[in-house]
Amino acid sequence: MIGYETFELGDFVLQNGATLRGARLVYNTYGALNAQKSNAVVYPTRFGGRHSDNEWLIGEGMALDPTEYFVVVPNMLGNGLSSSPSNTPPPYDRARFPRVTVYDNVAAQHRLLTERFGVEKLALVVGYSMGAQQTFQWGASYPGMVERILPFCGSARTSPHNFVFLEGVKAALTADAAFKGGWYDQPPTTGLRAFARVYAGWALSQAFYRERVYLEQGYSSLEDYLIAFWEGNYVGKDANDLLAMLWTWQNADIAATPGFDGDLEMALGAVEAKAIVMPGQTDLYFTPEDNEYEVSRMPNAELRPIPSIWGHLAGSGRNPEDVRFIDEALKELLAT
């Protein structure tokens, strides 16, 4: 977390008409912008993640080599570092935090890249999960600016089933009366733990559990995995922040970009960037089938599923084989 920067967005008007006054985008950078400003990469964060959670894919010898590229990792609005329910002053604080779209996130990131760094071309936008949704959005919002995209384990539009999965985790969290409609002073820990426990079944494949891969990850039993990894991951997070990002996720849709009028085919057709779209082969909510459709409507895209039993977490950086597979695709894409 050390060493991040803040970009002041000022009075940031959102797609739904609300103004987030004094909005800010927190980001970190890796490497240096070259003189031609041709080596910039944007790598947005995932649901519940922060810039530091992206660092496993950045490093010397890897595709995102900071000696070669200038990698900018902007924190998603709602993640607790950039403007979020938990850090916004009244009256748009906590349960009153406005609804932020993926479009809004990318508009804010575009201002960061252009205003602060004077970047006019992006060599690449890459992202995992909700980061992949922002990646698709970059391609649709700024087709002339983005040369390549590599969204992994994420879709251009949240599917109805994915929406229902999120209804489930949301219902589990808000079933805790301590949530108080978002006006809690003490965190709704029972709800956060329930949220985590529901999430645990979705984020990994049936085969991951069948083969008890968690035992190889330092967890002593299934219950230990559910508590130490899953509950541990969410119990310290802010409930309103999670729900703000969850709303963004449920409503992710590049066709909601002004000009496309809800037409997904048109929006996908507008993504000119050379793309490798990488679903996790066993992802239960961002399914390969959804990406397959999307790729079929994109002018310059290839579908390349990650052959993994890690479900959605194939893109989480936890399984070295999956990391290699993604990194190799990134190298190939950047070489074109």
* Contact residue for its own copies among 111, 202, 228, 332 (CB under 8 A): 202
Rule CB under 8 A: say whether 253 interacts with its own copies.
Answer: no
Q: What's the rounded Cα separation, in Å, for the pair 225 and 199?
A: 12
Q: CB–CB of 121/40 below 8 Å?
A: yes
What strands lie across the sheet with 274-277, from one edge to the other?
A: 5-13, 19-30, 70-74, 40-42, 124-128, 148-152, 274-277, 301-303
The site map against its own copies for 111-140 (x = CB under 8 A) is: ------------------------------
Rule CB under 8 A: say whether 201 interacts with its own copies.
Answer: yes
Q: CB–CB of 119/113 below 8 Å?
A: yes
* Contact residue for its own copies among 197, 266, 317, 327 (CB under 8 A): 197
- Answer yes or no: 221 catalytic: no
Query: Within 222-241, which residues bind its own copies (CB under 8 A)?
Result: 222, 226
Measured CA distances, 296 to 110, 121, 228, 278, 313 (Å): 27, 25, 40, 14, 24
Structure tokens at 282: 């066993």
- Answer yes or no: 129 catalytic: yes
- Answer yes or no: 51 catalytic: no
Q: What's the rounded Cα separation, in Å, for the pair 249 and 149?
A: 19
Query: Within 27-46, which residues bind its own copies (CB under 8 A)?
Result: none
* Contact residue for its own copies among 184, 199, 219, 325 (CB under 8 A): 199
Measured CA distances, 118 to 12, 31, 37, 110, 140 (Å): 20, 16, 8, 10, 20
Q: What's the rounded Cα separation, in Å, for the pair 318 and 311?
A: 12
Rule CB under 8 A: say whether 312 interacts with its own copies.
Answer: no
Rule CB under 8 A: say whether 287 interacts with its own copies.
Answer: yes
* Contact residue for its own copies among 10, 67, 175, 331 (CB under 8 A): 175
Rule CB under 8 A: say whether 92 interacts with its own copies.
Answer: no
Q: Binding residues for its own copies, per CB under 8 A?
A: 159-165, 167-178, 190-191, 193-194, 197-202, 204-210, 212, 222, 226, 284-285, 287, 289-290
By annotation, the residues acting in catalysis are 129, 283, 312
